[in-house]
Amino acid sequence: MTQFPYSSAAMTRNSTTPMTSNSVTFASVDDALDSFNRMLQMNPRPSGVKFGQLVSSLVRMKAFQAAFYASKRMELAGVPHDLYTLSMMLRCFCKLGRVDFGYSVLSKALKLGIQFNDVMLNTLIDGLCKVGKVIEAARLAHKIRILGYQPNVVSYSTIIDGLCKSGLVSKALDVFSEMGDRKIQPNVITYNSLIYGLCTSSSRNKAMMLLHEMADRKIMPDKFTYSILVDSFCKEGNVLGAKVILKMMIQRGLIPHVIIYNSLMDGYSLRSQVDKARKLFDSMANWGCKHDVYSYNIMIHAYCNNKRMDEAEQLLNDMLEKDLAPDTVTYTTMVNGFC
């Protein structure tokens, strides 16, 4: 069994997971860096694989700056990079929002004769989308095809999601069409992104067409698919339409969750059907669904709008009794209701 050459005091183990190289964790980032420094001073030094495993541990701890620091120290000390360590470096750059340095990692891989893989490419594409450079991500996908790499469903889905969240739904649909031309099968994540984009751009009829297309292609909608559609109907006060989607969801064997209930209560509130919203609020427990702060805020807002302050105040007290902390919205709503 492979182990790091560190003192046992610097490491902790998951009691339910076998002690392998991939399950090593540290008590703190400082412990990991202390172990890293000891490794650098050893003669002979541990293999690059073990250095990579340590960097991976830092990444799992979300200590991205420390992981990058360790990677650079490895490089300066002459520890050779491999695909694993370069992947970790790239992930760190992207998590830190420095996608510009991410390109340098790909260049380094090419110089070292290391063939980067789909995971690295998708990491960079995701990093670009996260910092709002969605068009650049799409261009990167085109460029890597020229180099002989084929973007996969993850690459395309990430770009589509980024385009939809940026309001560029028509471009997202073009990318979706390109997937079909290249015989790349979309998945539920691809469809969820498009359905979200269409719903937020007032094209819910097209979103419903995609829902039916999913059924034709034997791609099962998940709770997020239905949540997006229910929320879209409810934002327009169309609770009947939302309940049709809810019925479809239950028929698929999916249990409604708190987001679905909150959307429906909000829909009733928009139609000033406060008692129906409260009935739904009270029924959540029957489905094993716990109220959250948003659930209470929706009902308190509905009562305040209808000047039913005693009931709003009762709900506020109920929150406090359940140790559910009211937020700024809760108190602002109550203050406005009393004014």
Please indicate, yes or no, whether residues 111 and 200 belong to a single structural domain of this protein: no
In a domain, 284, yes or no: no
Task: Show which of 220, 236, 258 is a domain's final residue.
Answer: 220
My answer on whether 89 and 174 are in the same domain is no
**Does 139 lie in the same domain as 186?**
yes
**Distance between CA atoms of residues 84 and 242, nearest Å:** 47
Same domain, 168 and 64: no
Report if residue 315 sits inside a domain. Answer: no
Domain assignment present for 288: no
User: Are 3 and 111 members of one domain?
Assistant: yes
C-alpha triplet 190, 104, 123: angle, nearest 5°: 20
Decide if 316 is inside a domain. no
Domain co-membership, 216 together with 154: yes
Is 206 among the domain residues? yes
One DSSP character per residue, 202-259 reads T-HHHHHHHHHHHHHTT----HHHHHHHHHHHHHTT-HHHHHHHHHHHHHTTPPP-HH
Residue where one domain finishes, among candidates 220, 241, 267: 220
Model confidence, pTM:
0.80
Cβ-contact 201, 169 below 8 angstroms: yes
Q: Residue 322 domain-assigned?
A: no
Q: Which domain holds residue 71?
A: 1-116
Distance CA 48, CA 80 (A): 6
What pLDDT was estimated at residue 297?
96
* 228 is a domain residue: no
d(CA 9, CA 169): 53
CB within 8 A of 322, min separation 6: which ones? 291
Say if residue 11 is in the same domain as residue 110: yes
Last residue in a domain, options 202, 220, 238: 220
246 belongs to a structural domain: no
Three-class secondary structure of residue 150 per DSSP = coil
Taking only the tens of pLDDT, the chain with its 339 residues reads 333 333 323 333 333 322 233 445 678 888 888 888 888 888 888 877 788 788 878 888 888 888 878 888 888 888 888 888 888 888 888 888 888 888 888 888 888 888 878 888 999 999 999 999 999 999 999 888 887 788 999 999 999 999 999 999 999 999 999 999 999 999 999 999 999 999 999 899 999 999 999 999 999 999 999 999 999 999 988 999 999 999 999 999 998 999 999 999 999 999 999 999 999 999 998 888 999 999 999 999 999 999 999 999 999 999 999 999 999 999 999 999 988
The span from the CA of 153 to the CA of 139, in Å, is: 16
Q: How many domains are contained in the chain? A: 2
Give the three-class secondary structure for 31: helix
